[in-house]
Structure 1
Amino acid sequence: MGDVNPYLMFIAHNQEEKAAVLEPIKKCIVSEDVLAELDVNNVKTKKTRKQQDKAKSSPYMMRERNKVLRSRGESFHPFRRISPRISKPVRKSLEEESLADQTAAVIADEKYPRKAAGPIELADCVQSVDKVGWECHLRAVASYPPPVAASEDRSEVRCRRWVEAVEEGKGRALWTYPKKTPSEGLDRFKERVSKLSMWCGCMARVLTERISSIAIHPSRDILLIAAGGKKGSLGLWMVNPVLGTDGGVGRAADDSPTGIYRFEPHSGPISCTTFCAFGADRLITTSYDGTIRALDFEKLVFQELLSAPKDMRANWMQWHCQLSPNVLLASQGTGSVHVIDDRSGGRTEAILQCYDRSCRTISLHPLHPVYMATSSSLGLVSLWDLRKFGRKSPKVADKAVDTSALICQMSVQKAVSSAFFSPVTGSGLLCTSADERIRIYDTSKLAEGAAPSVCRVETDIRHLHKNSMWLSHFRATWHPQRDDAFVIGSLANPRRVEVYGRPGRMLCALGKDGHFPINTVCPVNAFHPNRMLLACADSGGRVHILL
């Protein structure tokens, strides 16, 4: 018999000792853990803890587990898991719902503590100003005439007639706005807008936080840009009191913009900022802190138009739209739309529960303002008839959706960020949704006074505007004087702002070329109502002017 290799004998001895040590451990595992019999973890590739848990909870593994438990005579559970989404929710009692609402209201109040109720002097909420005598500069804004004088159809008498008609339930249009027509075709507009670019001095850091809304003063004699921030700040950038005759931005004596003024009228994000559509002597802001305020340039005071009850769940304000000089429509986080008359101290004249969740935007038809369009985070776009609004108090409003004033409703796959009527004839409804699509619905029947049962999709555009926690919502907005062109920011490289035509064809991409290109994403954009000028805002608080 030949000599045995001592190394092989040593390996065999170690294997025997290892088997003797592991044998009782294996028996213990098999007796205590049923999954050891199924050999779940003995796989060739290493799995993460999440993958192992998923494998253990798979229907096949649960069936095998139940077989082992059944053979032992132990109790077992069915392998099918019930989805919480399709399971019937347990209805809470009124006391539990009231307690949940109060708890949510306390959390919201701690997150966005409100300013003092009532008017706030401009001097009491100043953050920073560039020049001495800023009061005189802002007070002079009220002296600039509006581009179009308010007509009789927009008088307070018409507003009172609308309120009376709501009470009586009359089904008739109360007034129509004067119809506007673009002075040039789409090809000529494309030629002009393609020449817009940013020049030296046309970019400034208006806020120190992310900009969530923007508005441009409509006067041709002054260039005033208002930007609302994520933390409740309001920035006013007065580029120059006088614009050049060729549309360029004039320069001050010290070769610098005339001033940037920052104020803090709110404690939450300012989701909507607009100049008054009936004179432009006021600046209206809507905030997540549950208040709507109006900056009076003549009195230099932030007037409080609405303050939602603090004990109401999801009491933040989302959007606003003017119906008359004193009547305002405002959407709330509860999914309701309020009709507010500022002459009655911010009292709600009428209310409609449109959705179960937040109502993102509201828009009025330009020819027949009794028709309203809304968008929701539930992926719904709805058309409503204001004449069928019910008069209810916000505290006693039903949580159920009221469909008595609903004309038609369209649904998409994901949340809808905005829905705006075309500003001239209202024949198109421009919608931006989180599924990275821009849709235009045909609403030409509303201009004829008819209520359609459904609106067909006229244009469907695939666009790169995925929402992010670091960016404001992308919202496609019409040109204020055209029904066939709109602007929206983009995530494409190089960074740009894109202008589209109504047929769905991109007219031009602005800001990616020139001596001063836009090197950042600009989700918030707005055209000047009466000049060929575009203002773009980014998440760093900067505003870019393209002219």
Structure 2
Amino acid sequence: MAVCEAGTGETGLTGETEGPSPRALQRLQESTPQGTAGLQLSPERGRLQLQVLLTPLAIAGRRLPQKRLLGRAGAPASKRLCLDSSPQEPAPGPPSTNGVDDLWDVDSDGSDGSEGAEDPVDGNSQLSAYERKRLKNLTENAKFFAALKLHETAAKLQQITTKSQSNITKRAKPKKAKDEMVRRRSMRLQRIDPSGVPMLEVPAQPEAEEYPQVPAGPLPMIPEDEVESSKLAENLLAMWMRISEGKANSSGKYTPDMKRYQDSLSRMVLSEENIKKVVKSRVSSMAIHPSESLLFVAAGDKFGQIGLWNVDCKSEEGAHVFVPHNFLVSCMHFSPFNPAHLLSLSDDTLRCGDVTRAVFDEICRGEDFSSFAFLEDTASTVIVGHWDGKVAVVDRRIPGTSPELSADIGFKRTRTVHVHPVNKQYFLAAGSVDVCIYDVRCLKPTGNKPVSRLKGHTKSVASAYFSPVTGNRVVTVCADDMLRVYDTTSLLLDAAVLSTVRHNNNTGRWLTRFQAVWDPKQEDCFVVGSMARPRQIEVFQDTGKLLHSFSNLDCLGSVCSINVVHPTKNILVGSNSSGRLHVFKE
């Protein structure tokens, strides 16, 4: 039997009392059951110290709790209750009846001996029952997750993910240029082809080998894809030269009888033989030869090509394509004085195709050219408009390729210029929302003021042209879906609006913008393309009345943005965005 002092970790009860007599102590020891408790008398400083030693008794099928019980806080060390936490084999014997088991039941955690026998934590007898239970649960959970082999599965998944990512090729991000000034250029200058046009006919963006840069200076009049002039091209040029020698009959142009004029329009029809693809891309300008013997038409497209078509020649060799420009051909005119000259304007140059010498001469070189018109009947001087709002005067008789005068008229953009048919010193300029009449004699580099204004436009103006005989009318096409006719009888006053026509001018970016042109044979009638279905070309009177619509369900299935009328014959030519020309004639 071991003796436990308070705080030593052994099980025992210790107390102090006044010393009884030795005889009383002997009777107390004799009455204590063997193996249950022991008494020991220790004299100390004249006092007797009673030590009660308790030994746990064995109980069948139950293990005593391994827990230390301490006395209340502040109790003397000699009066604390200490339970032995060290494992001891219980001594065999009958159950105790002296109340010791009742003490253990009060302080135990209620677990039986079988739960304590499966304790997986060895050497942790100092822990409480709750902590030992927690450690047991952690151990069982660890064994369960180990049985699932989660670590091996995660390793396999990571290996598969690493292999799949290694096969992916990441595109390197382009490095941003630092402090690099990029010049903004329009799609027209970059020669980027808009979508919607058949790819076989119009590449999205021509390669440099397919569209080489045209050099400056005179160019030989040789068709495209031909090293030297072929026999067929020579025949075409010879025909052009021959019909240019005769003079057109200008008498009897005007027909005052409107009924008779409408009848002539109804007799003009379109047939399959009068439809031909003359250029490869979208037609941006056209000109018709004034000859009455043969029908000869020129068309310019957005890539600088010029197609010449002898309509009366029914064979495939009736049309040939030339490339005198690098950019869109925005304006074309046969010279009224010498129809053997075909003047064409592109973004950077004004050229004259002289069939007598079989060469395209360079008249003027610059930037942002938009349109031109002849200032004289001899066609020796021209007025040229710029996309940046300026105008320039070019004299063809002066050597060199520089303009004679460049003037800022205050426009943001100059789309078209046109000269008065009678008073040649006045010209009409159409810009963003501005349409004004200027006197060429008063032009100066800056500070130019118009002599008359045509007001009322709310959006950009696509074109503005004087009437062909007197110039007393001006027709404009505006992006606000209106056609307007102005009275320009007095050139020194602001023009008044005579009539307005509601008209769909929303052609978008894939079609050339509409231009309303006067019929040279009729002072008060003009022709304009249409977005209506079935596709048609419309003829209006200056009063706003629709006189006639040219259409053909079998042959005309596209929008004809650019149209031109023969000066003396009942012939109308319309062009579409794929380079095809449609000829309506009697």
Q: TM-score, normalised by structure 2?
A: 0.61
Distance 1:375-1:291 versus aligned 2 partners, 3 A rule: same
Of 409, 416, 422 in structure 1, the residue corresponding to residue 461 of structure 2 is: 416
Q: Does 1:267 align with 2:326?
A: yes
Matches of residues 248-397 of structure 1 in structure 2 within 5 Å? 256=315, 259-288=318-347, 290-308=348-366, 315-324=367-376, 325-344=379-398, 345-376=400-431, 378-390=432-444, 392=445
Contact kept? 2:287, 2:297, Cα under 8 Å:
yes
Residue 407 of structure 1: how far off its partner (Å): 3.2
Contact kept? 1:130, 1:261, Cα under 8 Å:
no
Contact kept? 2:452, 2:495, Cα under 8 Å:
no
What does the per-residue CA deviation read over 1:18-61, in whole Å, with 9 as the maximum and x for residues that have no partner? xxxxxxxxxxxxxxxxxxxxxxxxxxxxxxxxxxxxxxxxxxxx
How many residue pairs get aligned? The number is: 385
Matches of residues 414-453 of structure 1 in structure 2 within 5 Å? 414-446=459-491, 451-452=492-493
Residue 346 of structure 1: how far off its partner (Å): 2.9
Distance 1:380-1:123 versus aligned 2 partners, 3 A rule: same
Q: For 2:548 and 2:539, how far apart are their aligned partners in 1?
A: 6
Q: Does 1:219 align with 2:271?
A: no
Q: For 2:404 and 2:229, how far apart are their aligned partners in 1?
A: 41
Q: For 1:321 and 1:421, how far apart are their aligned partners in 2?
A: 12
Residue 131 of structure 1: how far off its partner (Å): 7.4
List gaps (5 residues or longer) in structure 2. Answer: 1-178, 193-211
Q: Does 1:121 align with 2:220?
A: yes
Q: Does 1:526 align with 2:564?
A: yes
What does the per-residue CA deviation read over 1:441-481, in whole Å, with 9 as the maximum and x for residues that have no partner? 100123xxxx11x1110010001221211100101110012
Letter in 2 for 1:505: K
Q: Secondary structure at the match of 1:136?
A: helix
Q: Secondary structure at the match of 1:507?
A: strand
Equivalent position of 1:190 in the other structure: 262
Of 140, 144, 151 in structure 1, the residue corresponding to residue 243 of structure 2 is: 144
Distance 1:465-1:387 versus aligned 2 partners, 3 A rule: same
Q: For 1:540 and 1:304, how far apart are their aligned partners in 2?
A: 28
Q: For 1:147 and 1:365, how far apart are their aligned partners in 2?
A: 26
Q: For 1:199 and 1:108, how far apart are their aligned partners in 2?
A: 33
Residue 109 of structure 1: how far off its partner (Å): 7.3
Q: For 2:214 and 2:267, how far apart are their aligned partners in 1?
A: 44
Residue 126 of structure 1: how far off its partner (Å): 5.0
Distance 1:534-1:181 versus aligned 2 partners, 3 A rule: closer
Of 509, 530, 538 in structure 2, the residue corresponding to residue 490 of structure 1 is: 530
Give the share of equivalent positions with the same residue, in percent.
28
Q: For 1:223 and 1:349, how far apart are their aligned partners in 2?
A: 35
List gaps (5 residues or longer) in structure 1. Answer: 1-95, 151-177, 241-251, 309-314, 393-397
Matches of residues 59-70 of structure 1 in structure 2 within 5 Å? none
Distance 1:517-1:111 versus aligned 2 partners, 3 A rule: closer
Q: Does 1:545 align with 2:577?
A: no
Contact kept? 1:386, 1:405, Cα under 8 Å:
no
Q: Which moved more, 1:350-359 or 1:528-537?
A: 350-359
Q: Secondary structure at the match of 2:498?
A: strand
Residue 518 of structure 1: how far off its partner (Å): 1.0
Q: For 2:188 and 2:329, how far apart are their aligned partners in 1?
A: 15
Residue 110 of structure 1: how far off its partner (Å): 6.3
Letter in 2 for 1:358: R
Distance 1:299-1:475 versus aligned 2 partners, 3 A rule: same
Distance 1:328-1:180 versus aligned 2 partners, 3 A rule: farther
Q: Does 1:132 align with 2:231?
A: yes
Letter in 1 for 2:279: L
Q: For 1:106 and 1:258, how far apart are their aligned partners in 2?
A: 36
Residue 293 of structure 1: how far off its partner (Å): 0.7
Distance 1:521-1:132 versus aligned 2 partners, 3 A rule: same
Distance 1:445-1:180 versus aligned 2 partners, 3 A rule: farther
Q: Secondary structure at the match of 1:445?
A: coil
Contact kept? 2:188, 2:328, Cα under 8 Å:
no
What does the per-residue CA deviation read over 1:314-354, in whole Å, with 9 as the maximum and x for residues that have no partner? x2110010113221111011211111012222332222212
Residue 408 of structure 1: how far off its partner (Å): 2.9
Equivalent position of 1:403 in the other structure: 448
Contact kept? 1:126, 1:264, Cα under 8 Å:
no
Q: For 1:295 and 1:460, how far apart are their aligned partners in 2?
A: 39
Q: For 2:187 and 2:527, how far apart are their aligned partners in 1?
A: 37
Contact kept? 1:319, 1:362, Cα under 8 Å:
yes
Equivalent position of 1:467 in the other structure: 507
Aligned-residue RMSD, C-alpha: 2.9
Contact kept? 1:472, 1:524, Cα under 8 Å:
yes
Higher relative contact order (CA 8 A, sep 6+): 1
Residue 185 of structure 1: how far off its partner (Å): 1.9
What does the per-residue CA deviation read over 1:106-149, in whole Å, with 9 as the maximum and x for residues that have no partner? 99976699521110111275579997331232133123246657
Q: For 2:277 and 2:255, how far apart are their aligned partners in 1?
A: 34
Distance 1:129-1:546 versus aligned 2 partners, 3 A rule: farther
Q: Does 1:507 align with 2:540?
A: no
Q: Secondary structure at the match of 1:187?
A: helix
Bigger Rg over Cα: 2
Q: Which has the higher helix share?
A: 1
